[in-house]
Amino acid sequence: MARLKFNLIPGKPSLLSMGFGGLCWLPAAMLGQSALSLGILFWAGWFMFTIRKLQQIPNVQSIIVNRALPARFLVGRSAQIHINIENRSKYPVILQFRDEIPDTFLLEEKFHAIRLEGSQKTILTYLVSPTRRGRQAYGKFVGRMAAPGGWLWRESQWDLTEDVKVYPDFKLIAAERLNAKMLLKDWHVRRPRKKRGEGHEFESLRSYAIGDDSRHVDWKASARRQKLIVRQLQVERGQQIAIMLDCGRLMSESIAGHTRLDHSMNAALMLGQVAGKRGDNLSLVCFSNHIQAYMPSTKGRAVMHRMMETLYHVEASPLESDYWQVTAEAMHLLKRRSLIVFFTDVLDEAAAQGLANNLARAASRHLVLCVVLSEPGILAAASQMPTDSHEVYEKAAASQLLIKRHVALEKMRSKGILVLESTPNTMTIELVRRYIEIRMSNLQ
């Protein structure tokens, strides 16, 4: 709370009196010395009165201002801001204020003037609504103070600048969350019981039986016991999920009011919540022409918190993603066999080739699921019946885009890569459903 500057501004009563004082010089010009004396007396009284009013205005050090912000801001969700103001002087004061909110915040109500008596405290509250996630900056608190009557105003500033974090609003996918809970409940009912010999995680050693896989024979244990011993395997209790989020230029395209990247983030967050409840380990990589953010493998309740902290400031890059070198670097971060969930949008043939090559290489060790978002507008344009030349060109362009996408995705499928293509309204729930199917089928 440091005073940066202050200046004095005459109020309406002061301006009116100054105008009246100016008129006092007209009689002096016509009547001479006696009228001039009256003008001098008026202005002397005016200055004395103004000085007295100035003395009644508390100085900046006497007005203590603090801003109390919520623990977190969510995009599109109203948040209450509290301004704590204390008048430590003995004089009453009228305060007009303006808080410098971030440019991406919408102010939902106007600021009003307040009156504070001497030694009085008060709390002002107003609502803001963030429109964009990421790191935003609150500025100074600007106020005008005057003694009752508003004769003279002192403009002051309090340095309350601070950065705030705006997170994606998980409420935007509340319906998908409900559907995901229903899917999980159904999975718990229908999941098969653990069977011996299934999975990849070591459970115990036992004697060899006819029909056992010879690859599971433990030769060292067999030598010690003088008989064939096999390793008993079980389904992994905490499998590894790796989310890779493409943040290149193509992911900045807006669909249904949100960018491709935002839709992908919402789906990734829901997958993280479900995987965390299932006890799976989850890691996250965001990349474009470089790795923008990385979350190491995390498990349990910490998954959602760490994902939000990793994703809230990630933005789509204006540059193309590097699907050759940077994707390979991201894959190199994976140490264990994982289910890789890769969010992207690829139309360029050369870029699609680089991505397909890296994903195919990864598919030899991991299970890869490529998630792409289809645009309903392009689908509608490609299927329309044109009525004029403009619609003919529009239909041809949309059809060309769909063909390029279809070719790229079919190349991925031919290389053993799972593909999920979905619309914005169904992307999240279809991704959760596919994840549950993979876990039930023990494909990983």
Per residue in 188-228, pLDDT tens? 444 444 444 455 555 677 887 887 777 778 888 888 888 88
Secondary structure letter of residue 364 according to DSSP = T
Which residue matches tokens 């995901």? Answer: 180
Predicted pLDDT at 265: 92
Cα Rg of the chain, angstroms: 34
DSSP strand E in 235-384: where? Answer: 240-246, 254-255, 258-259, 281-287, 291-299, 339-344, 367-373
What integer pLDDT is reported at residue 197 of this predicted model? 46
Q: 1-167 and 170-193+237-441 share one CATH topology?
A: no
Query: From CA 251, how far away is CA 245, in angstroms rounded?
Result: 10
The whole-model pTM stands at 0.71
**Which burial class, exposed, middle or buried, applies to 349 when counting CB atoms under 10 A from its CB (0-12, 13-18, 19+)?**
exposed
DSSP of 292-317: EEEEEEEETTHHHHHHHHHHTT----
Q: Does the domain spanning 170-193+237-441 belong to CATH 3.40.190.10?
A: no
- Which residue type occupies 118? G
Smallest CA-to-CA distance from 150 within 93, 97, 112 is with: 93
- All residue ranges of the chain with pLDDT < 50 are 1-6, 175, 178, 188-197
Does the domain at 1-167 match CATH 2.60.40.10? Answer given as: yes
Residue 321, Cβ neighbours under 10 Å: how many? 26
pLDDT attached to residue 192: 45
Domain ranges for the chain: 1-167, 170-193+237-441, 201-234
